Amino acid sequence: MGFNIQINVVLVIWFVVCVGSIDADQFCVNFYSKSCPSVEALVLGVAKQKFVEAPVSAPATIRLFFHDCFVDGCDGSVLISSTQKHLAERDAADNKNLAADAFDTVNKAKAAVEAKCPGGPNYPVKKGRKDGKLSAASRVTGNLPQANYTVDQLLNLFASKGLNRSDLVALSGAHSIGFSHCDGFLDRLYNYHKTNKPDPSMDPKLLKALRMSCPPMGGNTDILSPFDVNTPFKFDSMYYNNLQLNLGLLGTDQALMGDPRTKTLVQFYDKYGNNFFQDFSSAMDKMGSIAVKTGNQGEIRKDCTRFNA
Protein backbone atom coordinates (compact mmCIF):
# COMPACT_ATOMS: atom_id res chain seq x y z
CA MET A 1 0.00 0.00 0.00
CA GLY A 2 2.71 2.48 1.02
CA PHE A 3 4.84 1.93 -2.08
CA ASN A 4 1.82 2.31 -4.36
CA ILE A 5 0.87 5.57 -2.67
CA GLN A 6 4.40 6.93 -3.07
CA ILE A 7 5.03 5.86 -6.64
CA ASN A 8 1.88 4.93 -8.55
CA VAL A 9 -0.41 7.53 -7.03
CA VAL A 10 2.06 10.39 -7.14
CA LEU A 11 4.50 10.04 -10.00
CA VAL A 12 2.20 8.45 -12.55
CA ILE A 13 -0.58 10.82 -11.70
CA TRP A 14 1.13 14.11 -12.03
CA PHE A 15 3.60 13.29 -14.78
CA VAL A 16 0.84 13.23 -17.38
CA VAL A 17 0.68 17.00 -17.01
CA CYS A 18 3.43 17.33 -19.61
CA VAL A 19 2.78 14.27 -21.75
CA GLY A 20 -0.14 15.61 -23.73
CA SER A 21 -2.37 13.77 -26.18
CA ILE A 22 -3.72 14.10 -29.68
CA ASP A 23 -7.18 13.24 -28.37
CA ALA A 24 -9.99 15.76 -28.08
CA ASP A 25 -9.89 18.09 -25.08
CA GLN A 26 -11.14 16.35 -21.97
CA PHE A 27 -10.05 15.58 -18.43
CA CYS A 28 -10.73 12.06 -17.26
CA VAL A 29 -9.27 8.81 -15.95
CA ASN A 30 -9.10 7.10 -19.35
CA PHE A 31 -7.70 10.00 -21.35
CA TYR A 32 -4.82 7.92 -22.78
CA SER A 33 -6.73 4.66 -23.26
CA LYS A 34 -6.34 4.90 -27.05
CA SER A 35 -3.39 7.17 -27.71
CA CYS A 36 -1.02 5.71 -25.07
CA PRO A 37 -2.62 2.89 -23.07
CA SER A 38 0.70 1.93 -21.43
CA VAL A 39 1.42 5.40 -20.03
CA GLU A 40 1.00 4.38 -16.37
CA ALA A 41 3.22 1.32 -16.77
CA LEU A 42 5.91 3.32 -18.54
CA VAL A 43 6.02 6.04 -15.91
CA LEU A 44 5.77 3.56 -13.07
CA GLY A 45 8.78 1.66 -14.40
CA VAL A 46 10.88 4.82 -14.41
CA ALA A 47 9.57 5.88 -11.00
CA LYS A 48 10.34 2.53 -9.39
CA GLN A 49 13.89 2.59 -10.68
CA LYS A 50 14.37 6.16 -9.48
CA PHE A 51 12.96 5.22 -6.08
CA VAL A 52 15.53 2.42 -5.78
CA GLU A 53 18.32 4.85 -6.67
CA ALA A 54 17.01 7.71 -4.53
CA PRO A 55 14.15 6.99 -2.09
CA VAL A 56 13.75 10.73 -1.53
CA SER A 57 12.37 11.01 -5.07
CA ALA A 58 8.92 9.81 -3.94
CA PRO A 59 8.20 12.45 -1.25
CA ALA A 60 10.03 15.01 -3.38
CA THR A 61 7.60 14.47 -6.23
CA ILE A 62 4.58 14.79 -3.93
CA ARG A 63 5.98 18.17 -2.95
CA LEU A 64 6.63 19.09 -6.58
CA PHE A 65 3.02 18.23 -7.41
CA PHE A 66 1.77 20.39 -4.53
CA HIS A 67 3.95 23.34 -5.53
CA ASP A 68 2.68 23.12 -9.10
CA CYS A 69 -1.02 22.84 -8.31
CA PHE A 70 -1.12 25.66 -5.76
CA VAL A 71 0.38 28.20 -8.19
CA ASP A 72 -2.02 28.83 -11.08
CA GLY A 73 -3.26 25.24 -11.08
CA CYS A 74 -1.86 21.84 -12.08
CA ASP A 75 -0.27 22.77 -15.39
CA GLY A 76 3.39 21.73 -15.19
CA SER A 77 4.56 25.34 -14.94
CA VAL A 78 6.94 24.50 -12.07
CA LEU A 79 8.90 22.34 -14.53
CA ILE A 80 9.82 25.28 -16.77
CA SER A 81 13.46 26.37 -16.65
CA SER A 82 14.38 30.03 -16.16
CA THR A 83 16.06 32.00 -18.92
CA GLN A 84 18.36 35.02 -18.80
CA LYS A 85 15.35 37.26 -19.32
CA HIS A 86 12.74 35.46 -17.24
CA LEU A 87 12.72 33.96 -13.74
CA ALA A 88 10.43 30.92 -13.77
CA GLU A 89 8.49 29.35 -10.88
CA ARG A 90 11.06 26.69 -10.07
CA ASP A 91 13.61 29.37 -9.13
CA ALA A 92 11.32 31.33 -6.80
CA ALA A 93 12.46 31.58 -3.18
CA ASP A 94 9.74 29.21 -1.98
CA ASN A 95 10.89 26.60 -4.49
CA LYS A 96 14.63 26.77 -3.87
CA ASN A 97 14.70 23.46 -1.99
CA LEU A 98 12.66 21.41 -4.46
CA ALA A 99 14.72 18.26 -4.93
CA ALA A 100 16.51 17.68 -8.22
CA ASP A 101 15.52 14.00 -7.98
CA ALA A 102 11.86 14.95 -8.45
CA PHE A 103 12.58 16.91 -11.62
CA ASP A 104 14.85 14.10 -12.82
CA THR A 105 12.08 11.53 -12.34
CA VAL A 106 9.62 13.58 -14.37
CA ASN A 107 12.11 14.22 -17.16
CA LYS A 108 13.09 10.55 -17.42
CA ALA A 109 9.46 9.49 -17.39
CA LYS A 110 8.70 12.04 -20.10
CA ALA A 111 11.49 10.61 -22.26
CA ALA A 112 10.20 7.06 -21.77
CA VAL A 113 6.65 8.00 -22.78
CA GLU A 114 7.77 10.06 -25.78
CA ALA A 115 9.83 7.10 -27.01
CA LYS A 116 6.81 4.80 -26.78
CA CYS A 117 3.94 7.19 -27.46
CA PRO A 118 5.23 10.22 -29.41
CA GLY A 119 2.80 13.09 -29.99
CA GLY A 120 0.78 12.65 -27.60
CA PRO A 121 -2.97 4.86 -2.87
CA ASN A 122 -3.85 3.53 -5.96
CA TYR A 123 -6.76 5.49 -7.33
CA PRO A 124 -8.13 6.31 -10.78
CA VAL A 125 -6.46 9.50 -11.96
CA LYS A 126 -7.96 11.98 -14.37
CA LYS A 127 -5.67 12.74 -17.27
CA GLY A 128 -5.73 15.20 -20.13
CA ARG A 129 -4.80 18.48 -18.46
CA LYS A 130 -2.73 20.73 -20.68
CA ASP A 131 0.50 22.51 -19.83
CA GLY A 132 0.26 26.14 -18.76
CA LYS A 133 1.61 28.99 -20.84
CA LEU A 134 2.87 30.98 -17.84
CA SER A 135 5.59 30.28 -15.30
CA ALA A 136 6.72 33.25 -13.20
CA ALA A 137 8.52 33.33 -9.87
CA SER A 138 6.38 36.30 -8.85
CA ARG A 139 3.26 34.08 -8.96
CA VAL A 140 4.57 31.79 -6.19
CA THR A 141 4.52 34.15 -3.21
CA GLY A 142 1.21 33.93 -1.37
CA ASN A 143 0.15 30.75 -3.12
CA LEU A 144 2.18 28.29 -1.05
CA PRO A 145 1.93 27.76 2.73
CA GLN A 146 4.84 28.85 4.88
CA ALA A 147 6.31 26.65 7.62
CA ASN A 148 5.06 29.00 10.34
CA TYR A 149 1.49 29.43 9.09
CA THR A 150 -1.33 29.24 11.60
CA VAL A 151 -4.26 26.90 11.07
CA ASP A 152 -6.37 29.93 10.12
CA GLN A 153 -3.89 30.83 7.39
CA LEU A 154 -3.73 27.24 6.18
CA LEU A 155 -7.50 26.86 6.05
CA ASN A 156 -7.89 30.15 4.18
CA LEU A 157 -5.22 29.23 1.64
CA PHE A 158 -6.64 25.76 1.05
CA ALA A 159 -10.16 27.18 0.77
CA SER A 160 -8.93 29.54 -1.95
CA LYS A 161 -7.95 26.43 -3.91
CA GLY A 162 -11.30 24.71 -3.36
CA LEU A 163 -9.95 22.42 -0.63
CA ASN A 164 -11.54 21.95 2.79
CA ARG A 165 -10.41 21.16 6.33
CA SER A 166 -10.31 17.42 5.72
CA ASP A 167 -8.21 17.96 2.59
CA LEU A 168 -5.75 20.06 4.57
CA VAL A 169 -5.21 17.46 7.28
CA ALA A 170 -5.14 14.54 4.83
CA LEU A 171 -2.66 16.20 2.46
CA SER A 172 -0.49 17.15 5.43
CA GLY A 173 -0.13 13.40 5.88
CA ALA A 174 2.22 13.46 2.89
CA HIS A 175 4.75 14.35 5.60
CA SER A 176 4.59 10.71 6.61
CA ILE A 177 7.55 10.48 4.23
CA GLY A 178 10.17 12.99 3.19
CA PHE A 179 12.53 15.46 4.80
CA SER A 180 12.94 19.16 5.50
CA HIS A 181 15.94 21.46 5.50
CA CYS A 182 16.79 23.18 8.76
CA ASP A 183 15.47 26.55 7.64
CA GLY A 184 11.97 25.09 7.60
CA PHE A 185 11.87 24.75 11.39
CA LEU A 186 14.88 26.67 12.74
CA ASP A 187 12.72 29.28 14.45
CA ARG A 188 11.02 26.52 16.47
CA LEU A 189 14.39 25.51 17.87
CA TYR A 190 15.74 28.89 18.92
CA ASN A 191 13.37 31.82 18.42
CA TYR A 192 9.77 30.68 18.40
CA HIS A 193 7.49 33.63 17.63
CA LYS A 194 10.50 35.91 18.28
CA THR A 195 10.73 34.93 21.96
CA ASN A 196 14.39 33.82 21.78
CA LYS A 197 13.15 30.50 23.17
CA PRO A 198 12.22 27.18 21.55
CA ASP A 199 8.67 26.15 20.78
CA PRO A 200 7.34 24.86 24.13
CA SER A 201 5.14 22.32 22.34
CA MET A 202 8.11 20.43 20.87
CA ASP A 203 9.19 17.21 22.54
CA PRO A 204 12.42 17.94 24.51
CA LYS A 205 14.28 14.94 23.07
CA LEU A 206 13.37 15.93 19.54
CA LEU A 207 14.41 19.51 20.26
CA LYS A 208 17.82 18.34 21.51
CA ALA A 209 18.37 16.08 18.50
CA LEU A 210 17.40 18.76 16.00
CA ARG A 211 19.62 21.36 17.65
CA MET A 212 22.59 19.01 17.23
CA SER A 213 21.95 18.90 13.50
CA CYS A 214 20.79 22.48 13.00
CA PRO A 215 22.79 25.19 14.78
CA PRO A 216 21.24 28.67 14.98
CA MET A 217 23.68 30.04 12.40
CA GLY A 218 26.11 28.73 9.83
CA GLY A 219 24.78 25.19 9.61
CA ASN A 220 25.22 22.85 6.66
CA THR A 221 22.43 23.64 4.22
CA ASP A 222 22.51 20.05 2.93
CA ILE A 223 21.35 18.59 6.25
CA LEU A 224 17.88 17.04 6.16
CA SER A 225 15.59 15.97 8.99
CA PRO A 226 12.72 13.50 8.52
CA PHE A 227 9.15 14.69 8.94
CA ASP A 228 8.34 11.32 10.52
CA VAL A 229 11.07 10.28 12.95
CA ASN A 230 9.66 6.77 13.32
CA THR A 231 8.92 5.56 9.78
CA PRO A 232 10.45 8.16 7.43
CA PHE A 233 10.40 5.92 4.34
CA LYS A 234 7.00 4.31 4.86
CA PHE A 235 3.76 5.96 3.84
CA ASP A 236 1.52 5.28 6.84
CA SER A 237 -0.50 7.09 9.49
CA MET A 238 2.41 7.36 11.95
CA TYR A 239 2.64 11.07 11.14
CA TYR A 240 -0.60 11.65 13.04
CA ASN A 241 0.56 9.62 16.00
CA ASN A 242 3.72 11.73 16.10
CA LEU A 243 1.71 14.95 16.28
CA GLN A 244 -0.03 13.70 19.42
CA LEU A 245 3.39 13.12 20.96
CA ASN A 246 4.60 16.62 20.03
CA LEU A 247 6.95 15.17 17.41
CA GLY A 248 5.79 17.34 14.51
CA LEU A 249 8.71 18.85 12.60
CA LEU A 250 7.27 21.99 11.04
CA GLY A 251 5.19 24.55 12.84
CA THR A 252 2.35 23.82 10.41
CA ASP A 253 2.52 20.13 11.29
CA GLN A 254 2.25 20.56 15.05
CA ALA A 255 -0.33 23.33 14.69
CA LEU A 256 -2.82 20.75 13.40
CA MET A 257 -2.82 19.11 16.83
CA GLY A 258 -3.16 22.41 18.65
CA ASP A 259 -6.34 23.58 16.94
CA PRO A 260 -9.69 21.90 17.77
CA ARG A 261 -10.82 22.22 14.16
CA THR A 262 -8.03 19.92 12.98
CA LYS A 263 -7.14 18.00 16.14
CA THR A 264 -10.08 15.63 15.82
CA LEU A 265 -9.02 14.68 12.30
CA VAL A 266 -5.44 14.09 13.44
CA GLN A 267 -6.73 11.68 16.06
CA PHE A 268 -9.11 10.04 13.59
CA TYR A 269 -6.46 9.39 10.94
CA ASP A 270 -4.11 8.01 13.57
CA LYS A 271 -6.72 5.53 14.71
CA TYR A 272 -8.11 4.67 11.29
CA GLY A 273 -5.26 4.46 8.80
CA ASN A 274 -7.43 3.16 5.98
CA ASN A 275 -9.61 6.25 6.21
CA PHE A 276 -6.47 8.35 5.93
CA PHE A 277 -5.47 6.54 2.72
CA GLN A 278 -8.96 7.06 1.30
CA ASP A 279 -9.12 10.74 2.20
CA PHE A 280 -5.55 11.33 1.02
CA SER A 281 -6.41 9.83 -2.36
CA SER A 282 -9.56 11.94 -2.58
CA ALA A 283 -7.67 15.10 -1.63
CA MET A 284 -4.95 14.37 -4.18
CA ASP A 285 -7.63 14.00 -6.84
CA LYS A 286 -9.19 17.33 -5.84
CA MET A 287 -5.81 19.06 -5.78
CA GLY A 288 -5.01 17.62 -9.18
CA SER A 289 -8.14 19.30 -10.52
CA ILE A 290 -7.21 22.85 -9.48
CA ALA A 291 -7.46 25.29 -12.39
CA VAL A 292 -6.99 22.61 -15.05
CA LYS A 293 -6.07 24.07 -18.43
CA THR A 294 -8.02 22.86 -21.46
CA GLY A 295 -8.41 24.04 -25.05
CA ASN A 296 -6.37 27.12 -25.94
CA GLN A 297 -5.76 27.84 -22.25
CA GLY A 298 -2.76 25.52 -22.45
CA GLU A 299 -0.42 23.67 -24.75
CA ILE A 300 1.10 20.21 -25.18
CA ARG A 301 4.84 20.54 -24.64
CA LYS A 302 7.40 18.21 -26.18
CA ASP A 303 9.96 19.27 -23.56
CA CYS A 304 8.64 19.71 -20.02
CA THR A 305 11.21 22.44 -19.29
CA ARG A 306 10.43 24.75 -22.21
CA PHE A 307 7.40 26.44 -23.72
CA ASN A 308 6.61 25.51 -27.30
CA ALA A 309 7.04 29.06 -28.53
Handedness of CA 114, 25, 75, 253 (dihedral sign): negative
* Dist. CA 37–CA 22, nearest whole Å: 13
For the chain, give the number of residues.
Answer: 309
* Dist. CA 94–CA 173, nearest whole Å: 20
The reply to whether 67 belongs to the active site is yes
* Dist. CA 273–CA 75, nearest whole Å: 31
- List all residues 6 or more positions away from 15 whose beta carbon is below 8 Å from its beta carbon: 43, 106, 109, 110, 113
Query: 3-class secondary structure for 54-74?
Result: CCCHHHHHHHHHHHHHCCCCC
> For the packed helices 251-258 and 260-271, what is the interaxial angle rounded to 10 degrees?
100
Which amino acid belongs to residue 215? P
Kindly name the residue from 67, 86, 181, 193 that is annotated as catalytic: 67
The residues annotated with a catalytic role in the active site are 67
